């Protein structure tokens, strides 16, 4: 699942940006619950970062109880974590992102009913 040449946001540490991508992949099902995440080496290759940065991603995901270590095998996405992450991401969106989007829509005179529906 290589990402190609990464473009990083200077306002946030690279490991955090990779964590956000991994969490997004868990939410969309690319990394299913109960399945192994890519190894540190593979993450480093996929995101074109050092193995130390990839190891920090794995460590932080484990620290946040998103993954659990399978001795001698790797790190697995914890069962039940998708629901927790979905709740957390929805809350973050509604608390942090939506107010800014709503304010921008108001400035441009866009109503909810004007938004395209897929």
44 vs 118, more confident? 44
Domain ranges of the chain: 14-112
pLDDT of res. 6: 63
Tokens coding 109: 């005179």
For residues 30-46, give the mean pLDDT. Answer: 95
CA angle 11, 27, 115 (to 5 degrees): 75
Q: Got the DSSP string for 45-75?
A: HHHT--HHHHHHHHHHHHHTTSEEEETTTEE
pLDDT band at 79 (very low <50, low <70, confident <90, very high): very high
Q: Which fold has domain 14-112?
A: Arc Repressor Mutant, subunit A (1.10.10)
Global pTM reads 0.80
């Amino acid at each position: 699942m290589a990402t190609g040449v990464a473009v990083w946001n200077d306002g946030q540490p690279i490991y955090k940006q990779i964590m956000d991508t991994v969490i997004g992949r868990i939410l969309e099902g690319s990394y299913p619950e109960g399945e192994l995440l890519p190894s540190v080496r593979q993450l480093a290759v996929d995101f074109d970062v050092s193995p130390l940065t990839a190891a920090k991603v794995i460590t932080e995901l484990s620290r946040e109880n998103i993954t659990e270590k399978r001795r001698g095998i790797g790190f697995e996405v914890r069962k039940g974590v998708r629901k927790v992450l979905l709740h957390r991401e929805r809350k973050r969106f509604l608390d942090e992102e939506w107010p800014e989007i709503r304010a921008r829509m108001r400035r441009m005179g866009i109503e909810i009913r004007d938004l395209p529906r897929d």
